């Protein structure tokens, strides 16, 4: 069902998901991207990696996504922080993004954030 | 002369779209930096869909916001009301809308174009067409186009205002 109250999955780069980051919050709606390192069939947990940073993604609610190691995936969902350093993304959306230029994606994301910050400050003014 | 924005589909991010100024005239008008906009083009991921008999409602998430979109599927009712002759079984508009509704699936990256509307106080898009984007880089290109167009065109003050400063 179309839920108007759904929060957008804010795109983040995996290395930004540190405990000190403002995005590292319980229940934060995020969009994460990384290549699939492993997939645990029993718990439906995927581990994605970008550079030297990895993140666990709970995919139990996803349908019609087939997982292939080393393919690039994007997930939208809510962050569940279990311990100080241990977090998992509870995915509600997942898709394969093989062919995505990660370098371009990350640079464009920074440009887009500057635009959003400008919009936010103009709204406050 | 100022480019009239209301004649084109403006490439826009959800955050910009959802923060347009709504003027409750008849019909409702939408302003961006004092300039009227009427149509929008978004690129984002479908995060929710609700199919009813006469319409499909879905949400497009581009990471800056979630935009409610409505695709009407009630062409046969409209045709029955407006047509005086015998109704034709083959209606290309209805067929196209139905085909587009099948493209709207959870997790699909879509390009959506349509009219900006207001429903129960919230901005939404009345869909004209949807195109699934196969290349994930097309979303990144859309972001950059939105930022560039905002800077170089959409958010420039109207000429009349520039003249006063």
pLDDT tens figures, B77-87: 666 656 554 45
Q: How far apart are CA A8 and CA B67, in angstroms?
A: 9
Its pTM stands at 0.89
Q: Cβ(B47)–Cβ(B59) under 8 Å?
A: yes
Distant-in-sequence, close-in-space partners of A21: CB < 8 Å, separation ≥ 6: none
| Nearest-neighbour CA in chain B from A118: distance (Å) | 11
Those residues of chain B whose CB sits closer than 8 Å to some CB in chain A are: 13-16, 19, 45, 47-50, 57-59, 61-66, 68, 106-109, 122, 135-137, 140, 143-144, 146-147, 150
Put simply, the answer to whether A9 touches B14 (Cβ < 8 Å) is no
Put simply, the answer to whether A116 touches B107 (Cβ < 8 Å) is no
ipTM over 0.90 threshold: yes
Q: Kindly state the average pLDDT of the residues A33-47.
A: 97
Q: What is the pLDDT of residues B2-25, one digit of tens each?
A: 668 888 899 999 999 999 999 988
Classified as helix, coil or strand, A103 is: helix
Q: How far apart are CA B57 and CA B100, in angstroms?
A: 12
Q: Cβ(B136)–Cβ(A99) under 8 Å?
A: yes
Torsion of CA A91, A93, A98, A99, to 10 degrees: -120
Q: Cβ(A69)–Cβ(A39) under 8 Å?
A: yes
Percent of chain A with pLDDT over 70: 94
Chain A residue with CA closest to B46: the answer is A93
Q: Kindly state the average pLDDT of the residues B129-141.
A: 97
Per-residue model confidence (pLDDT) at position B62: 97
Put simply, the answer to whether B137 touches A100 (Cβ < 8 Å) is yes
Q: Kindly state the average pLDDT of the residues A8-32.
A: 94
Compare A38 and A123 and report the one with higher pLDDT: A38
Would you place residue B92 in the very low, low, confident or very high pLDDT band (cuts 50, 70, 90)? confident
| Nearest-neighbour CA in chain A from B86: distance (Å) | 36
| Nearest-neighbour CA in chain B from A123: distance (Å) | 9
B-chain CB neighbours of A102 within 8 Å are: none
Put simply, the answer to whether B48 touches A1 (Cβ < 8 Å) is yes
B-chain CB neighbours of A91 within 8 Å are: none
Checking if the pLDDT of B165 tops 50, the result is no
Q: In degrees rounded to 5, what are phi and psi of residue B126?
A: -90, 110
Per-residue model confidence (pLDDT) at position B84: 54
Checking if the pLDDT of B162 tops 70, the result is no
Per-residue model confidence (pLDDT) at position A4: 57
The secondary element (H helix, E strand) that includes residue B75 is helix B75-82
Q: Kindly state the average pLDDT of the residues B144-148.
A: 96
Put simply, the answer to whether B63 touches A8 (Cβ < 8 Å) is yes
SS3 of chain B: helix, strand, coil, percent, to 5 = 30, 40, 30
Which two structure tokens, joined as six digits, stand for A61?
A: 């609610």
Checking if the pLDDT of B74 tops 60, the result is yes
Extents of the domains making up chain B: 5-159
Would you place residue B94 in the very low, low, confident or very high pLDDT band (cuts 50, 70, 90)? confident
Measure Cα distances from A109 to A11, A73, A82, A106 in Å.
Answer: 8, 17, 28, 5
A-chain CB neighbours of B57 within 8 Å are: 2
Measure Cα distances from B67 to A48, A78, B64 in Å.
Answer: 28, 19, 10
Q: Which CATH architecture group holds B5-159?
A: Beta Barrel (2.40)
Q: What is the pLDDT of residues B50-69, one digit of tens each?
A: 999 999 999 999 999 999 99
Q: Kindly state the average pLDDT of the residues B139-158.
A: 91
Q: Where are the beta strands (DSSP E) in B7-162?
A: 9-11, 21-23, 29-32, 35-37, 39-51, 55-61, 66-72, 109-119, 122-132
Structural domains for chain A: 10-124 (2.40.50.140)
Q: How far apart are CA B107 and CA A65, in angstroms?
A: 9
Q: What is the pLDDT of residues A71-109, one digit of tens each?
A: 999 999 999 998 767 899 999 999 999 999 999 999 999
Region of poorest pLDDT, from A31-35, B76-80, B145-149: B76-80
A-chain CB neighbours of B66 within 8 Å are: 4, 6-8
| Nearest-neighbour CA in chain B from A48: distance (Å) | 18
């Amino acid at each position: 069902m179309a839920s108007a109250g759904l929060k957008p999955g804010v795109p983040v780069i995996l290395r930004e998901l540190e405990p000190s980051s403002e995005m590292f919050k319980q229940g934060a709606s995020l969009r994460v991207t990384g290549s699939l390192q492993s997939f645990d069939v029993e718990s439906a947990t995927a581990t994605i990696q970008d550079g030297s940073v990895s993140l666990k993604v709970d995919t139990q609610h996803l349908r019609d996504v087939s997982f292939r190691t080393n393919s690039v995936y994007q997930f939208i969902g809510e962050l569940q922080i279990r311990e100080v350093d241990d977090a998992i993304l509870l995915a509600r959306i997942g898709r394969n993004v093989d062919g995505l230029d990660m370098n371009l994606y990350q640079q464009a994301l920074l440009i887009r954030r500057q635009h959003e910050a400008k919009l936010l400050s103009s709204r406050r003014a | 002369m100022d480019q009239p924005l209301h004649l084109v589909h403006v490439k826009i991010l959800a955050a910009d779209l959802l923060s347009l100024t709504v003027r409750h005239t008849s019909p409702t008008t939408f302003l961006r930096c004092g300039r009227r906009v009427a149509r929008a083009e978004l690129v984002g991921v479908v995060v929710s869909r609700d199919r009813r008999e006469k319409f499909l409602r879905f949400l497009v998430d581009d990471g800056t916001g979630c935009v409610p979109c409505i695709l009407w599927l009630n062409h046969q009712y409209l045709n029955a009301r407006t047509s005086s002759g015998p109704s034709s079984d083959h209606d290309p508009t209805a067929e196209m809308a139905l085909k587009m509704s099948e493209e709207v699936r959870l997790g699909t990256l879509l390009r959506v174009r349509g009219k900006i509307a207001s429903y129960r106080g919230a901005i939404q898009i009345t869909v004209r067409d949807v195109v699934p984007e196969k290349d994930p880089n097309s979303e990144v290109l859309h972001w950059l186009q939105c930022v560039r167009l905002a800077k170089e065109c959409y958010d420039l003050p109207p000429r009349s205002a520039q003249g006063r400063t």
